[in-house]
Amino acid sequence: MTIDPSVLRSAAAQGEELDGLRERILAAAEGAFFERGFHATVMDTIARRAGCSKKTIYKLFESKDALFSALLQRVGRDVRAIPVDATLPPTEALCDFLQALARVILRGTSVALTRMVMAEVARGRDHTQQACQPDIGTKSLLVLEDYLDWLQRRGEYEFGVPALASRMLVGMALGAFHHEVLIGVLEEVPEPVLIQRIQQSVRVFLRGSGAGGAAHDSPG
């Protein structure tokens, strides 16, 4: 059976149009949530901002919680897309990864979404907490875990459980900054200060994990 190429092109165009509509709705929801908060935002507002009907929104997202969850999942996807370059010396590879991670989790939209999750949890909205749980710190850091596991299997470092080691490293490098930005102590972290903290954390982490008491700075 031969499929008419024009049919395939039409299907592709429809898919792109649907993706565009989905992103437009998410952008509208994001703006409304930031301005009004999750609790005060209604679907009518999102529909007006997106230039579509509520019925259209419900075809793509079953609820306001689902919209919020999709925004958080997008942050998780951004984190999971960050690579660790195993061709670089470990110090450089880890610093590059953590700087890229910081650009995602410390950006304004990510911080605002996390604050909203915290606010909704404080309201006792357990179903919102479950539907909108950020993926950062779990599956999001699998790339980092895999890299640490790879270094450990080569006998260069002794990290113990890679999942725990990855959380430890991220906490050392970014945890305090993330907390201070969340609670409003810092509006943003100056890049030179961020880079210095990351570099110091990576040096301490690798020095303390060196196999046989001697840390190496090359994966080869």
> What are the tokens at 160?
């113990």
Assess if residue 73 is contained within a domain: no
Domain with residue 146: its CATH number is 1.10.357.10
Interval 202-216: pLDDT, tens: 999 999 998 654 445
**Both structure tokens of 166:** 């990855």
Does residue 108 sit in the same domain as residue 206?
yes
Same structural domain, 52 and 87: no
pLDDT tens digits, one per residue of 76-129: 788 888 999 999 999 999 999 999 999 888 887 777 777 777 766 666 655 444
Shared domain check, 131 and 27 = no
DSSP one-letter string for 31-98: HHHHHH-TTT--HHHHHHHHTS-HHHHHHH-SSHHHHHHHHHHHHHHHHHT----TTS-HHHHHHHHH
72 found inside a domain:
no
CA 167 to chain centre: 14
Residue 146 confidence (pLDDT): 94
pLDDT digits (tens, 9 = 90+) for 122-151: 666 554 444 444 444 444 578 999 999 999
Q: What are φ and ψ of residue 210, in 5° steps?
A: -65, 130
**Domain tally for the chain?**
2
Q: Are residues 90 and 52 in the same domain?
A: no
Q: How far apart are CA 187 and CA 167, in angstroms?
A: 24
Q: Is residue 180 part of a domain?
A: yes
- Encoded amino acid at 105, one letter: I
Indicate if 118 and 194 belong to the same structural domain: yes
Identify the domain containing residue 47 by its residue range.
5-61
Q: What average pLDDT score do residues 153-164 get?
A: 93
Nearest 5°: phi and psi at 78? -60, -40
Global confidence as pTM: 0.72
In a domain, 33, yes or no: yes
Reading the block at residue 80, the tokens are 């999971």
User: What integer pLDDT is reported at residue 156 of this predicted model?
Assistant: 86
Whether the per-residue pLDDT at 9 is higher than 60: the answer is no
Confidence of residue 24 (pLDDT cuts 50, 70, 90): very high
Q: Is residue 112 assigned to a domain?
A: yes
Q: Are residues 108 and 193 in the same domain?
A: yes
Based on the domain organization, do 136 and 200 belong to the same domain? yes
- How many helices (H) and strands (E) the chain has is answered by 11, 0
